[in-house]
Structure 1
Amino acid sequence: MDKRKALILLQELLKIKSVNNHEAQVADYIKLLFDQYPAAQVTEVNYAPGRSNLVITIHGDQPGKTLGLSGHLDVVSPGDISAWHHPPFAGEMDTDNVYGRGASDMKGGLAALIYVLLDLLAEKRSFAGTIRLFATVGEETGNYGAAQLTRQGFADELDALIVAEPSNLQVEYTHRGVIDYEVSATGKAAHSANPAAGNNAIDQLFRFYEAITALMTPKTKVDPVLGPLLHNVTQIAGGEQINSIPARARLYGNIRTTPLYPNQPLMAEIEALVAELNQQPGNELQLTYHYPESPLPGNPQAPFVQLFRKVAMHTLGHKVAVVGDSGATDASEFIRAAQKFPVVIFGPGNDSGHQADEYVAIKDYIAAITIYQQVILQFLR
């Protein structure tokens, strides 16, 4: 491994401002890296102007299994620049860390995957089967890119998938899902001195709040790894002024699902609840979902999970935990593919993502490269 080249690759990715909807520049940079290798099949899948997914496919010397690698191109906004001691898009480095927006979440993991593939091509390493790297748009705001690639069949042949999200170098095999929903209420405006002449949209949302609380409260089964089902109303807005009955109001809720309470049955229950409320006089509610993400089921004893754990322990020289993640990843979309396959979430990042002075430890980044390389070569023997 050329440590200097590996770090330069990460720094160059961090310098590209791919905040939320400007991923094409990162995709273009990655394409240039693979242009010199005819063995790498690079497919650009456009999502929207300025937003492109990449699928990079490399075939081995003989037929075999197909291993997917996943990393997203987008990062969140740096927020208040004055809060940063290291500029968010400079890729600054000291003796221990590389800093920048996305260093942990998740250009560190993406850069490590890219370096492994470039090294594999340069050294003409032998393996059986196929490696397919997915570099996706829109993970931070709804997994748009992974959903698009899955719909188009790019994940249908996978036998296993590595998602390089930050895991503190722990092996994660399961994670929560997410349901973000919006309920809008339409009423009728009136003077507050004559409320009977109107229909208070906020009152409609109160009825919904009471009803969904009653629906969710009995759901008490606890996943042994991920914990309980979580539901929170997180935003509410409505009304125009203090002496007017509001004609419109909106409520937003967030549900963190588990394999014990998967998305589709819960969404069907919420839809039925809204339909029932709309049968009552005075209610005009509309339900909208914002890019729900399914929970990731998994088996900690799956051979692919245990292979990852074995390689990580050998490389790091200590025990490696096999755990779940409270967040969601692009795996929520990729598992909708034609066949089932095990997923491991493993990356060199930490808890600094989405914060000022986000960073990745250099030793963790280098270790991740070694671990990815060994897992790939052992899985595709």
Structure 2
Amino acid sequence: MSGELRAAAVERCASVVGLAQELIRLPSRGGIDDYGPVLGVLEGWLTGRALPHRRLHDDKGRLVGLVVEIAGGRPGPWWALDACVDTAPFGDEAAWSFPPTAGDVVDGWLRGRGAADSKLAASMFCHIAADLRSGAADLQGGLAVLLDVDEHTGGFGGARAYLADPQATRPAGVMIGYPGLEDLVVGGRGLWRAVISVHAPSGHSGSSRTVVSAISRGAHLVHLLDTADLPGVHADTAGFPLPPKLSVTAFHGGQGFSVTSDLCELNVDVRTTPGFDAHDAETLVRKAVAELDAELPTPRPTGITPMASWPPFQLAPHEQPAAAVLNAAAAEGLAVRAKTAGPSNIGNLLAGEGIPATAGFGPAYEGLHGFDERARLSELPQVYAVYHRAVLDLLTAN
């Protein structure tokens, strides 16, 4: 089967690149561009190959993605391939050496915003669905391909709509098509985020009366948070390979020069682990806030508004769908490592729903979220064959 899959992958790759080029040439920056044109290209391609698909909308009726579904002829679990077709912004276009929507191939590299993250993966997954269509009667369960256009906003609206869709079968696992040839991401730290509102009585900056402004109180709170005692990696009894991390990521307060501020707001981002979860993160932040209010009291206590919380996740290499991808990569001669990532990803959202996920295996890349984004095509046939083999293994397992 290995030779047949590789030959099919080589044959498919020209078409995969061609569809990806069409997608790259249509800007679909998260929260900026209209997603209709880029989804229209995908819908036209899917319709031309009689692949069942439908649009996904969020609870406000906004278009957030497409889902393609290939049902097997025998009972079994469903699995999903997921790729985003919205992108990061272009940034400073003057820093690019080629147009962000170039969509061309130069020296073996596919160039343009979305080439790496993740329009090439979206095209590849659509082609794999087409490959499975003719032999679907022999498959167990089914395959869904999720094409999300609300990923780079941080809302993950496509994934949320897919999981909430009563027509969709809940997947047993998801393989996310982020790029990177050397690693398969099988885990990630979770997060707990909050906005902290630090108050103080306002006053004139020239007053002879001593006034401790909200900015000064906020600065003291930043010091308390920066020096808070977090456990190290070896303290995590779950064997998680990364320690928790706390960062103050925004600090806003004050206006002009003559008035001391009465409000300062801080954004706090805590990356969590199995041994230091969201409850621990909130407890630590509330302890620091209590210390601030005790040391520098004001009539109005400091407020904490939690904004988001995702659990950490980590699959063992023998757990599905990680095992299927790693085994398929080994069969293709690729040395791929299982990796737990520091940043969170959509796998954390899925973990909160009890759905295992992998991410971060795809073509080699440069310029991700920066300028001159591009993806190397020399290994594309191997990457294609890996995902094709992994899906077949999952859909034919006894």
- Range into which the TM-score falls when normalised by the shorter chain: 0.7 to 0.9
Q: In the alignment, residue 285 of structure 1 is paired with which amino acid? A: T
| CA distance 1:108–1:328, change in 2 (3 Å) | farther
Q: Any idea what the Cα deviations from partners look like across 1:117-149, whole Å, max 9, x if unmatched? A: 123236768422111122223322324313343
1:299 pairs, out of 316, 334, 352, with 316
Partner deviation per Cα, 1:51-94 (whole Å, 9 max, x = no partner): 42222221012111210111122211111111111211121211
Residues 297/79 of structure 1: CA separation in 2 closer, same or farther (3 Å cut)? same
1:96-125 Cα shifts (integer Å, max 9, x gaps): 110111211222222221221123236768
What is the identity, as a one-letter code, of the residue corresponding to 2:249?
A: T
Please say which of residues 191-200 and 95-104 is displaced more in the overlay: 191-200
Are the structure 2 counterparts of residues 87 and 31 from structure 1 closer, same or farther at C-alpha, using a change threshold of 3 Å?
same
Report the CA distance between 1:235 and its aligned residue: 2.6
CA apart distance, 1:192 = 1.5
1:12 aligned onto 2:25: no
Q: Which has the higher contact order (CA 8 A, sep 6+)?
A: 1
Equivalent residues of 2:162, 2:168 under 8 A apart? yes
Unaligned 5+ runs, structure 1: none
Compared CA separation, residues 341 and 50, structure 1 to 2 (3 A): closer
Q: Paired residue for 1:313?
A: 330
Q: Within 2, Cα distance between the matches of 1:298 and 1:155? A: 24
Which of 73, 79, 99 pairs up with 2:91? 79
TM-score by length of 1: 0.87
How many angstroms apart in 1 are the aligned matches of 2:229 and 2:200?
Answer: 28
Which residue number corresponds to residue 134 of structure 1? Answer: 146
- Code of the residue aligned with 1:343 in structure 2: it is A
Alignment partner, residue 342 of structure 1: 356
**Structure-2 change in CA distance of 1:155 and 1:185 (3 Å):** farther
Provide the residue aligned with 2:120 in structure 1. Answer: 108
Residue 84 of structure 2 aligns with an amino acid whose one-letter code is H
Q: How many residues align?
A: 377
Q: Which amino acid is the alignment partner of residue 213 of structure 2?
A: N
State the alpha-carbon separation in 1 of the partners of residues 82 and 388 from structure 2: 14
Gaps of 5+ in 2: 1-10
8 Å contact from structure 2 (residues 191, 311) kept in 1: yes
CA contact 1:20–1:75 (8 Å) conserved in 2: yes
- Map Cα deviations across residues 208-254 of structure 1 (whole Å, 9 max, x no partner): 3244345x424224466642211122332222233431122222233
Question: SS of the residue aligned with 1:300?
Answer: coil
Aligned residues of 1:112 and 1:365 also touching (Cα < 8 A): no
Q: How does 1:235-246 map to 2 (within 5 A)?
A: 235-246=250-261
Q: Structure 1 residues 184-193 or 285-294, which shifts more?
A: 285-294
Residues 23-43 of structure 1, C-alpha deviations (whole Å, 9 max, x = no match): 343333222222245552424
Could you tell me which residue of structure 1 aligns to residue 192 of structure 2?
Answer: 179
Instruction: Answer yes or no: is 1:159 the counterpart of 2:172.
Output: yes
From 343, 368, 382, the counterpart of 1:353: 368
- Compared CA separation, residues 377 and 207, structure 1 to 2 (3 A): same
Q: What percent identity do the matched residue pairs reach?
A: 20
What's the CA shift for 1:356? Answer: 0.7
Q: CA deviation at 1:360?
A: 0.7
2:388 alignment partner, SS class: helix
Root-mean-square deviation (CA, aligned residues, Å) is 2.9
- Greater shift after overlay, 64-73 or 155-164? 155-164
Q: Residue by residue, what CA displacement relative to the aligned partner does 1:139-197 show, whole Å, maximum 9, x if unpaired?
A: 22324313343345678732221011123242221112233432232333211222648
In structure 2, how many angstroms separate the alpha carbons of the residues matched to 1:179 and 1:26? 33
Say yes or no: does 1:253 pair with 2:268: yes
CA distance in 1, matches of 2:321, 2:348: 18
Q: State the alpha-carbon separation in 2 of the partners of residues 185 and 347 from structure 1.
A: 44
Matches within 5 A, 1:129-278: 129-145=141-157, 146-152=159-165, 157-194=170-207, 196=209, 200-213=213-226, 216-222=228-234, 226-267=241-282, 269-271=284-286, 274=289
The 8 Å contact of residues 169 and 368 in structure 1, kept in 2 or not, is answered as no
Give 1:272 shift: 6.5
2:148 maps to a residue whose letter is T
| Counterpart position of 2:347 | 331
Q: Quick one: which amino acid aligns to residue 347 of structure 1?
A: G
Q: TM-score, normalised by structure 2?
A: 0.84
Match of 1:68 in 2: 80
The amino acid across from 2:74 in the alignment is Q
The range that moved more, 81-90 or 248-257, is 248-257
Q: Deviations over 1:310-346 (max 9, x none)?
A: 211221x242212222222212212233xx4432212
- The letter of the residue matching 2:29 is V
1:36-55 → structure 2 map (5 Å cutoff): 36-38=48-50, 40-46=52-58, 51-55=63-67
Aligned AA for 1:69? L
Alpha-carbon shift at residue 357 of structure 1 (Å): 0.6
Quick one: structure 1 residues 122 and 170, their matched pair in 2 at CA, closer, same or farther if it must change by over 3 Å?
same
